[in-house]
Amino acid sequence: MVKRTFSVAEKLAILEEAKQDGVSATLRKHNIGSTLYYKWRDKFDLKGIDGLKNTYQRESPEVKRLQNENLRLKRLLAEKELEIQIKEELLKKIADRKKRESN
């Protein structure tokens, strides 16, 4: 199956046609899946015509690599913070126990 790109005008025309003639008939006529139609409708409802514009832009491999590294570092930092928090809680428990034992 060939992937087809629709212009903003075509998307708008399909949305209007679906309002008038019904969604299922319009989707069959244009050979469009229902999920695609509802994505277009939701974007149109939120942003108007600007929501129907094709906004996909390929990210450069360098940006993608940096994002992955950033995510890895954030996870590492979260692990370290969790370890520190657990150690602090254990130290508090030990200190409380010693305090109770000495009294």
Domains in the chain: boundaries: 8-52, 59-103
pLDDT, tens digit, for every residue of 17-48? Answer: 999 999 999 999 999 999 999 999 999 998 89
Contacts of 23 (CB under 8 A, 6+ apart): 34, 37
- In tens, the pLDDT along 84-95 reads 999 999 999 999
8-35: b (≥16 Cβ within 10 Å) or e: eeebeebbebbeeeebeebbeebebeee
pTM score: 0.52
